[in-house]
Amino acid sequence: MYYVPVRTLPQTVLDYIRRQSLLHAGDRVGVAVSGGADSVALLRIMLEFRAELGIVLSVVHFNHQLRGEEADADEQFVTQLAHRHKLELFAGTADVAAHGRSRHLSTEAAARQLRYQYFRQLFEENKLNRIATGHTLDDQAETVLLRVVRGAGTRGLAGIYPQLLIQGSQFSVVRPLLKTRRKLLESYLGEIGGDWREDSSNRDLRHARNRVRHGIVPRLERTLNPAVRETLGETADIARSEEEYWQNEVSRALPEVWRAERLILRLAELAALPLALRRRLVRAAGESLGLNLEFRHVEEILELDQRGPRSAMLPEGWLLSLTKGGLQFAPPSRVAASPDYEYKLAIPGTIRVSESGACFEVARVPASAAAGYNPDHMLDPALLQQELTVRNWRAGDRYWPAHSKAPRKIKELLQERKLTGIERKLWPVVVSGHEIVWVRGFPTPARLRPGDGDHEALVIRELPSREEAKHE
């Protein structure tokens, strides 16, 4: 399906451009040329069809300053290539290594970020409205494989898109070679007498993509599937179609569950939907706030309506809490400004703590372990005051959970649980007089447990959502 004789390769690329509607008459197209075979072949193919397509052609080159004299020689090669074909050249440069260090990015990510910043600059200056890059079927297969092993849903498996729209549809980056194998492009250049440059960094196995390109994919071809590149390319095609469908579904369903003005996901409406749609709606709500939620974040959010945690820390300092109205997002500014809280809790009694999105109950129960209550959760009512206080822990607070040798700072106990940010700051404790007698997630102090002859005990618990609603 993907094999193309060299003599018909340009026509095949032209057919793909038309089928995907990548270019239109009057477009000012800059071909991104690094000097390698892929981009040089793309330029030569575009030269063959620029009159037929009705486009204005130019060359774009970006020097990443990663390979010293070799990179400068690449730039000189591209400059001569543009002059030879009487094309305007747009050349940019930046220190990718320094940018990567300052932003804590990989070299590949930093290079792409700066390269695309330069592309946007050319668009904003109205010098071009399309930039064509030399991404091939090989690049697509490598991208899909890398995303599979790193963890990805259909959005990640969609791989490299034929067209990346920038600022609406006015500007875009297009990939005319996305169905073309790299070896065919090299054969094409050999047939027409075209030169190109070899990038020595493409053999550096410290880069994950190079290990995939030179080791893993060839081994898969030899041992599992000779057409593995084509198969991975087809996987990307299928995933892109799936994503288009889901985007429409999410756009339709999101207004029904997401109250953007209040930053609340309506839990009842969300729970009635299929799991696949619930996951996408949670992610879409996060994206509307500028949050990139990973799978683990989405799963943690969806589990908040179950018995257990009532809040979840999200990227960039956001907090999500389970409230009566649903799942409440709190931005970092609001979270940082959250004051200490303190509520009175009668025995027996129930209190809702809005700051932690939780409801707490103290109940009288039989003291016998045979009654089905965990001794780690029991307290002797005779050793407590008649009214308790629910509050967040404070600096200097100490607690002596059962099965430990001595009192510990609550700060240290929470650090060991890897709790951070506002979730740790708002972690609830219960106080009797001046003593902390209960901390969420830890056993009660041994000295405050009911004795063998006691008939009654107190249990403090955090209510699940259905019980909380019943008490409100």
pLDDT in tens, 257-303: 999 988 999 988 999 999 999 999 999 999 999 898 888 889 888 88
pLDDT surpasses 90 at 332: no
Count how many residues are written for the chain: 472
The percent of residues in the chain predicted with pLDDT above 70, rounded, is 91
Q: What is the spatial distance between Cα 308 and Cα 311, in angstroms, rounded to a whole number?
A: 9
Range with top average pLDDT, 231-235, 348-352, 372-376: 231-235
Nearest to 278 by CA among 302, 306, 294: 302
Residue 132, token pair as written in the block = 């064509």
Whether the CB-CB separation of 66 and 94 falls below 8 Å is answered with no
Query: What residues contact 192, with CB distance under 8 A and at least 6 apart?
Result: 44
DSSP element (H, E) containing 271: helix 267-271
Nearest to 161 by CA among 266, 268, 219, 241: 241
pLDDT surpasses 60 at 461: yes
Whether the CB-CB separation of 456 and 450 falls below 8 Å is answered with yes
Give per-residue pLDDT as tens, 112-171. Answer: 999 999 999 999 999 999 999 999 999 999 999 999 998 888 889 999 999 999 877 689
For 313-337, what is the mean pLDDT? 78
* pLDDT (0 to 100) of residue 6: 56
* pLDDT (0 to 100) of residue 421: 65
Q: What is the spatial distance between Cα 125 and Cα 120, in angstroms, rounded to a whole number?
A: 8
The DSSP-derived string for 389-429 is EEEE--TT-EE--TTSSS-EEHHHHHHHTT--HHHHHT-EE
Handedness of CA 314, 316, 319, 325 (dihedral sign): negative
Query: What residues contact 228, with CB distance under 8 A and at least 6 apart?
Result: 141, 217, 220, 221
Give per-residue pLDDT as tens, 212-221. Answer: 999 999 999 9
Q: What is the spatial distance between Cα 208 and Cα 332, in angstroms, rounded to a whole number?
A: 35
Nearest to 335 by CA among 351, 352, 314, 353: 314
User: For residue 334, with 0-12 CB atoms within 10 Å meaning exposed, 13-18 middle and 19 or more buried, which class applies?
Assistant: middle
Nearest to 77 by CA among 42, 118, 44, 34: 34
Chain CA centroid to CA 91, Å = 32
What are the backbone dihedrals phi and psi of residue 312, each rounded to the nearest 5 degrees, phi first? -145, 135
**CA-derived radius of gyration, the chain:** 31
* pLDDT (0 to 100) of residue 13: 96
Q: What is the spatial distance between Cα 130 and Cα 29, in angstroms, rounded to a whole number?
A: 5
Average pLDDT along the chain: 88
Nearest to 37 by CA among 188, 206, 167: 188
Residue 32, token pair as written in the block = 């991104």
For 46-55, what is the mean pLDDT? 96
How many CB atoms neighbour CB 110 within 10 A? Answer: 23
* pLDDT (0 to 100) of residue 335: 61
For 233-240, what is the mean pLDDT? 96
Three-state DSSP string of 350-362? EEEEHHHCEEEEE
Domains of the chain, each with CATH number or no CATH? 6-236 (3.40.50.620), 260-335 (no CATH), 342-471 (no CATH)
* pLDDT (0 to 100) of residue 5: 58
pLDDT surpasses 60 at 470: no
The three-class DSSP label of residue 313 is strand
* pLDDT (0 to 100) of residue 420: 67
**Binning pLDDT at 50, 70 and 90, where does residue 471 land?**
very low
**pTM for the structure as a whole:** 0.69
More reliable by pLDDT, 464 or 354: 354
* pLDDT (0 to 100) of residue 148: 93
Give per-residue pLDDT as tens, 390-415. Answer: 999 998 999 999 988 899 999 999 98
Nearest to 127 by CA among 89, 153, 95, 156: 89
What are the backbone dihedrals phi and psi of residue 69, each rounded to the nearest 5 degrees, phi first? -65, -35
How many CB atoms neighbour CB 125 within 10 A? Answer: 9
For 438-443, what is the mean pLDDT? 93
For 5-23, what is the mean pLDDT? 89
DSSP element (H, E) containing 323: strand 319-323
Query: What residues contact 204, with CB distance under 8 A and at least 6 apart?
Result: 210
Nearest to 183 by CA among 38, 383, 39, 310: 38
Q: What is the spatial distance between Cα 45 and Cα 179, in angstroms, rounded to a whole number?
A: 14
More reliable by pLDDT, 423 or 86: 86
For 219-238, what is the mean pLDDT? 96
What are the backbone dihedrals phi and psi of residue 346, each rounded to the nearest 5 degrees, phi first? -75, 160
For 2-24, what is the mean pLDDT? 84
More reliable by pLDDT, 313 or 389: 389
User: What are the CA-CA distances from residue 40 to residues 32, 172, 198, 295 (Å)?
Assistant: 9, 20, 11, 39
Nearest to 425 by CA among 399, 394, 389, 461: 394
Residue 262's identity, in one-letter code, is: R
